[in-house]
Amino acid sequence: MNIKKIENADNHIAPLITDKNKPIKEEIDLFDLYSDVLNNKPQEGLKKEYNLTDYKKIENITYSNKTNCKYNLYLPPDSKAEGLVLYLHGGWFMMGSKDDENEQKYWEYYASKGYAIATIDYPLISENNKNNYSLDKICNEISIGIESINKEAQKQGYNLDNMIVEGFSAGGTLAMIYGAYNSEKSPIPVKCIVNLSGPTNMDPQSFNESMINDGVHSKEEMIAKLATNITGKKITSSSVKNGEYKELTDKLSPTNLFNKINIPVISAYADSNDVYTTNEQLKNYIIKSKINNNNVNFIYKNSNHDLLGSDLNELIDKSILISKN
């Protein structure tokens, strides 16, 4: 790989890692300027030690009396773990499962490095949010889950003294919110946040048109419904029209959380618009991430929201190295 630095008008230099067999574009837009990794190719990773099949698996441990609060715990051989990786599944906060085999690809590489893995279910928001959950309240339940995971690991003879919080899609957003509001009092010290395709802006007005236009309700009604689900507060159409609801959604938007997160954040996104995050929103997110030089953004070309076809091993190796510092 060649590392090429391109300087913008503000004299901000951003490293671009490019495939040496492909010419770099003559015109680099703002999205490219503020990306840390482009045309990502896997590099030689840390030495592989274990397979997931070597691990002890403890399933369906209940950590709260709230609905849908269970986790699976994978423990490496020899009663020794490099740390814990807490994985938060996707599903737009309303669905999804810790047992989703399609999401195993996001976390199983950590097992090869000797990390304990916990995949956790968290309270889901109902269609009309009758349970009055908000994303920050979900993170409070996740904190209870981490305390239970720590106790179970100790019971099994493991000392978990550091943690990487990783999430995909909705789970990536929750990982960011956890990093902002819960990490300093976490039962296990958080060393790194890994956000895989998490929606960056939780203001429904910024969502893809297909999400706020169902052909039945007005746009204001759809935005109000989505904002109610996100914040756990009753949002009305009038609140949408006058913009009052934005104060609540802004507090839960990853783009606005970097100044509240005191640990490194590693993010991964595709280079094209998807349902949850447009290129314009992603540009803003990347720019805001520069508040901390330890934050890293992996932008995968020719990929999609699921990061299909993207080799995440380099990203995971990076998160491990960061968490060891």
Confidence of residue 128 (pLDDT cuts 50, 70, 90): low
pLDDT, position 1: 29
What is d(CA 243, CA 254) in angstroms, rounded to the nearest whole number? 19
User: The tokens 């482009």 sit on which residue?
Assistant: 38
pLDDT, position 110: 95
Q: Give pTM, 2 decimals.
A: 0.84
User: Greater confidence, 241 or 126?
Assistant: 241
Q: Which region among 17-21, 168-172, 218-222, 304-308 has the lowest average model confidence (pLDDT)?
A: 17-21
- CA distances (Å), 266 to each of 92, 207, 315, in order? 20, 23, 8
Tell me the domains of the chain and their CATH numbers: 52-202+252-324 (3.40.50.1820), 206-240 (no CATH)
Spell out the residues 6+ positions from residue 225 whose beta carbon is closer than 8 angstroms to its own. 128, 217, 235
CB 103, CB 90: distance < 8 Å: yes
Confidence of residue 321 (pLDDT cuts 50, 70, 90): very high
pLDDT, position 201: 92
Over the stretch 62-105, which tens digit does the pLDDT of each residue have? 999 888 899 999 999 888 899 999 999 999 888 999 999 999 99
